[in-house]
Every structure is written in C-alpha cells, then in structure tokens.
C-alpha cells in the first residue's frame, strides 16, 4: 500500500539560463573579451555574458513546474525583447 | 592520406557557470525572490543568481583548453574568494 500525504507538493530544483539574443550587442562581454586579451588570452573570441539562476519551486508535478517557470521567466527573470531563456528541472528528493 | 594543416588550432566552445559560494549572501537573489512572491509565486525559495558565460577558445587540445579556462576564470571571470565556477567545453567542428 502506498500513502500519499496531501498538502505536501514535490519540490523541484531549477537551473535557468538567461542569454542575450544573438542579434543583441553585449558590451559587458566585449569588455571581458578585451580584458582577457590584455591578460594575454588572444585565442578567446565571442564572449557573451548571461545569467545563471538557481531556485527551488514547489509544484504539483514536473509539467506544472515547467509551466510556472515559463511564466516567471517571461514576467521577471528574462526580458523577452532582448533575451532568451531555457531551464532544466530535477525533482528534489523529499527529506 | 590525411593532411593536417599546421597553425590551425582547434576551437572549443566553453560554457562557464559562476556561482556565489553557498556561504555568501546573495542580495540580488533575495530581491528576485521577494519580487516573485509579490507576483504570487509563493512556492519559490532559495533563489541564487550567478553568471553564465559563453566563449570560444583556440587551444592545442581539450586539456590545454581546460587549463586555460581554469586560469582565466581565476584571473578574471570569477572572484575565487566568494565565487565558485565550473565549465563545460565542446570542440567546434572546423568550417
């Protein structure tokens, strides 16, 4: 027999990658690239700097977690006009 | 017969993840978390914001690329006192 405790939603660990769209200039990346060249790393090109966001999320199941992540990325974590995002989720084993 | 062109080093695409050490407070993450709660996402906890850096690197082989990435992360991309980093590399197929 299996017991399901009602009221305890599973928790998902999410890793979210927010990157500038390829057509958008990345001044911070350009600055880092020229800094690297000044340090002697001449083989480095195409530096792009994005955000890497980690969070935990309670949701009924993986599909609900993905849906919620899509919404919160669109609303707060990414700027859809100039940024793309993708994410990975993994269920966290209950304590 | 195979021809190797000397002088053309392979190129590696690197993805670098820079995160705050777990013991270091993340005020930006806390701000995002309270912003999400105000939007109604009450199931979100533990928001941590790091950097996601993409670049291309010319190196003799994968081991040399990894060694160079370790050095440039320590020197410029991460602050070893408060941040951790890890990276993945993949050789880019020659054009």
pLDDT by 10s per residue, chain B, length 95: 555 555 688 999 999 999 999 999 999 999 999 999 999 999 999 999 999 999 999 999 999 999 999 999 999 999 999 999 999 999 998 76
Partners of A45 on chain B (C-beta within 8 Å) are 55-58
Domain boundaries along the sequence of chain A:
11-92
| pTM, rounded to two decimals | 0.88
| Cβ contact, residue pair A44, B33, below 8 Å | no
Q: What angle is formed at CA A65 by the lines to CA A60 and CA A66, rounded to 5 degrees?
A: 145
Q: How close, in Å, is residue A76 to chain B by CA atoms?
A: 7
ipTM over 0.90 threshold:
no
Q: Distance between terminal CA atoms of chain A?
A: 20
Tens place of pLDDT for every residue, chain A, 95 residues? Answer: 555 555 688 999 999 999 999 999 999 999 999 999 999 999 999 999 999 999 999 999 999 999 999 999 999 999 999 999 999 999 998 76
Determine the residue of chain A that is closest to B76 in CA distance.
Answer: A36
How far apart CA A19 and CA A13 sit, in angstroms, is: 20
Question: pLDDT exceeding 90 applies to what percent of chain B?
Answer: 87
Partners of A75 on chain B (C-beta within 8 Å) are 39
Pick one of 3.40.47.10, 3.30.1280.10, 3.40.50.1980, 3.30.413.10 as the CATH number of B11-92.
3.30.1280.10
Q: How close, in Å, is residue A45 to chain B by CA atoms?
A: 5
């Amino acid at each position: 027999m299996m017991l399901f405790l009602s009221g305890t939603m599973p928790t998902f660990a999410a890793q979210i990658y927010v990157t500038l769209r390829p057509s958008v200039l990345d001044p911070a990346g350009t600055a880092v690239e020229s800094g690297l060249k000044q340090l002697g790393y001449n083989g480095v090109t195409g530096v792009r700097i994005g955000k890497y966001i980690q969070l935990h999320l309670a949701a009924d199941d993986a599909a609900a977690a993905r849906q919620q992540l899509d919404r919160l990325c669109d609303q707060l974590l990414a700027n859809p006009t100039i940024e793309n995002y993708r994410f990975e989720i993994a269920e966290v084993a209950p304590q």
